[in-house]
Amino acid sequence: MRSVVEPVRAVQTALEEFDLLAQMGADEGEEHVIADLDALVQRIEADIEKLDFRVMLGGPNDRCGAYVQFSPGAGGVDSCDWAGMLYRMYARWAERKGFKVTELERTDEPEGGIRSATLQIDGDYAFGRLKAEIGVHRLVRISPFDSQARRHTAFASVDVTPELDEKLAALYGQKGEIAFGSQIRSYVLHPYQMVKDHRTGYETGNIQAVLDGDIDGFIEEYLRSRGGAKAAARK
């Protein structure tokens, strides 16, 4: 409740400040307060956006921590390496947010990457955010494992469950085939650089930032799209 109440209070406080500045502008002249008003409007918009996001994280388990499991799919050792890259991406994302990251299980692939791994991520709304990442992730690049430097496509899945008891956690999501046509997002390193979410259309060309954990844009866009779909279904 506090996580929603505090953003509401922040918006209320900012609106009260806006009224005071508007009154000062009326009394003393708009030119004396216009810069402060512009800055305040930007703050109000940011606070409303934060509140909107908190409201979207209203699922019964959204505030829980999360277990994140990584599994390579089609693509041989490239997929194992890709699963390892995803492992690092989500660990970096969690660390940036000040979340606690614990490695519960990891099986390395001798040639590169991982055969499987599970992270426990403890933080406020970790599951609510990371549930947006469940699915198959596709990588296109020049393979470092190909002596002829050919372009390869690799797949790996990310599965996320809330920190519940094992019986309840087992009820969450069933994995489909980890291969072409089932991906939620593509990460293209060659012949151009682009990360695109196929569910929302959200994309960025700064793939290195994404691989370093800058994935909030993808998470928030997906959660907003889900919120809009639910609102439309209720009409």
Check which CATH number belongs to the domain holding 98 and give it. Answer: 3.30.70.1660
pLDDT digits (tens, 9 = 90+) for 123-156: 999 999 999 999 999 999 999 999 999 999 999 9
**Entry pTM:** 0.79
Instruction: Please tell me whether residues 141 and 39 are part of one structural domain.
Output: no
| Confidence bin at 185 (pLDDT 50/70/90) | very high
- C-alpha distances in angstroms, 45 versus 25, 40, 214? 21, 9, 22
The pLDDT score that the predictor gives to residue 153 is 94
Shared domain for 122 and 15, answered yes or no, is no
Full domain range(s) for residue 47 = 2-56
Residue 6 has a pLDDT of 73
What amino acid occupies position 5?
A: V
- In contact, 194 and 188? CB cutoff 8 Å: yes
**Phi, psi angles (nearest 5°) of residue 100:** -85, 130
Is 61 inside any structural domain? no
pLDDT digits 0-9 by tens, 63-85: 999 999 999 998 899 999 999 99
Separation between Cα atoms, residue 124 and residue 146, nearest integer Å:
42
For range 150-168, the mean pLDDT? 86
DSSP 30: G
Residue 96 covered by a domain: yes
Across 150-166, b (16+ Cβ under 10 Å) vs e yields eebbbbbbbbbbbbbee
Please indicate, yes or no, whether residues 138 and 223 belong to a single structural domain of this protein.
yes
In this structure, of 19-28, 32-41, 163-172, 206-215, the range with the lowest mean pLDDT score is 163-172
